[in-house]
Amino acid sequence: MSFILTDDLSKNKVASQSTTYAATSSDAFKYVAGNAVDRDLTTCMRAEPIGENSDYYQVWWKVDLGAVYNIYSVNILFKNYEGNERRQRGRFAGFSVYVSMNGSRDASSLCYKDGPVLPHLNFTTHCFTYGRYVIFFNERNSELKYPDEYQLTSVYTELCEVIVLECTAGWYGLDCKQECSGNCKDNTVCNHVTGQCDGGCAAGRRGTLCDKACREGYYGPNCSRTCPSNCKACKATDGTCSCYAGWMGPNCSIGCVWSYGEDCQYPCSKHCVNQTCDRFNGSCLSVCDSGFHGQKCDQEYAATFSVLSTLSSGILGASVSAGVFITSGIVILIVW
């Protein structure tokens, strides 16, 4: 599976630093803070030294990314001098990296604290946080005890590049190789470190990564809602139901009227008196119209029986008597 990191967030962004080493008049920009984000490895920022023989004991460098980003990693290239790598690592040692919303440094914005082993001059750490400012900080405090390999005098800070990356939206994990489930609430992207949906799952999904469908009988965000009892099948996203016999409506809470069956999809027989029937099985609740019979009044009597029924019920509108003689299987009607 392919993956992509976003463009370098810190490239050519506004940078600042606590002090700037005095450059020659011919090159006033030789050691400025912006050299660490220009993507030219031959130029580096340099601050005034800190340590026992210096007027300064702290140094900081800061880049403003211009907006709040979901930071994935910070890569720092500290200047190396041929034959002096150990010294340079001793100068680099003990530093901290902060990712801050407002440019301040405090415990809540600390991303990385170096020590006690000397760092490599090409250093990368993963910062699992949001922020606008990335800050490099180091110190040599005379009141503190440092490991033997730390440089304590003439501690120059020389950052050649500081590269800040974030995962492309929709990817997470080590090197951004894993794709988000795409099932976060309100179509938000997942956490670039854990892959979890920090704001919860979309309707119809559940699980740590929101990658599982709701169990039967549940629906809604994080599958936290129970389907109505009259649902035969409940749609996991919004709870819309396919109803058991006798019920209808989005939540299957309305009883059938002049109809029956699942979702009240069948009309009662028009031959049921008042067209009323049992909402579950469709059987007529009272008698059938004349000429029809059966539980659903959907069976018609034979024509002869219909005539007899009509005659015997006096529907002809006259004073009529009927005699019926059955001879050799023939029905003879005598009217007088």
**pLDDT score of 330 more than 80:** no
Q: Evaluate if residue 296 carries a pLDDT over 90.
A: yes
Q: Which amino acid appears at position 271 of this protein?
A: H
Question: What's the pLDDT at 185?
Answer: 93
> What is the average pLDDT across 211-224?
93
**Nearest-angstrom CA–CA distance, 332 and 106:** 112
pLDDT of residue 325: 36
pLDDT at 22 > cutoff 80: yes
> Residue 335: pLDDT band by 50, 70, 90 thresholds?
very low
> Model confidence at 318, in pLDDT bands (50, 70, 90)?
very low
Flag whether pLDDT at 312 surpasses 90: no
Distance CA 255, CA 14 (A): 68
Domains and CATH numbers, the chain: 14-165 (2.60.120.260), 172-226 (2.10.25)
Distance between CA atoms of 73 and 154, rounded to whole angstroms? Answer: 29
Mean pLDDT of the chain: 87
What HEC string does the chain produce?
CCCCECCCCCCCCEEEECCCCCCCCCCCCCCCHHHHHCCCCCCCCCCCCECCCCCECEEEEEEEEEEEEEEEEEEEEECCCCCCHHHHHHHHCCCEEEEECCCCCCHHHEEEECCCCCCCCEEEEEEEEEEEEEEEEEECCCCCCCCCCCCCCCECCCEEEEEEECECCCEECHHHCEECCCCEHHHCCCCCCCCCCCCCECECEECCCCCEECCCCEECECCCEECCCCEEEECCCCCCEEECECEECCCCCEECCCEECECCCEECCCCEHHHCECCCCCCECCCECCCEECCCCCEECCHHHHHHHHHHCCCCCCCCCEEEEEECCEEEEEEC
End-to-end CA distance of the chain: 98
Q: What is the pLDDT of residues 95-127, one digit of tens each?
A: 999 999 999 999 999 999 999 999 999 999 988
At 82, is the pLDDT very low, low, confident or very high (cuts 50, 70, 90)? Answer: very high
Mean pLDDT of 4-32: 86
For residue 93, the model assigns a pLDDT of 98
> What's CA 194's distance to the chain center, in Å?
12
Strands 330-335 and 247-248: unpaired
Pick the more confident residue, 194 or 47: 47
194 pLDDT above the threshold of 50? yes
Tell me the per-residue pLDDT of 147-166, one tens digit each, with 9 for 90 and over: 999 999 999 999 999 999 98
Is the predicted pLDDT of residue 29 greater than 90, yes or no?
no
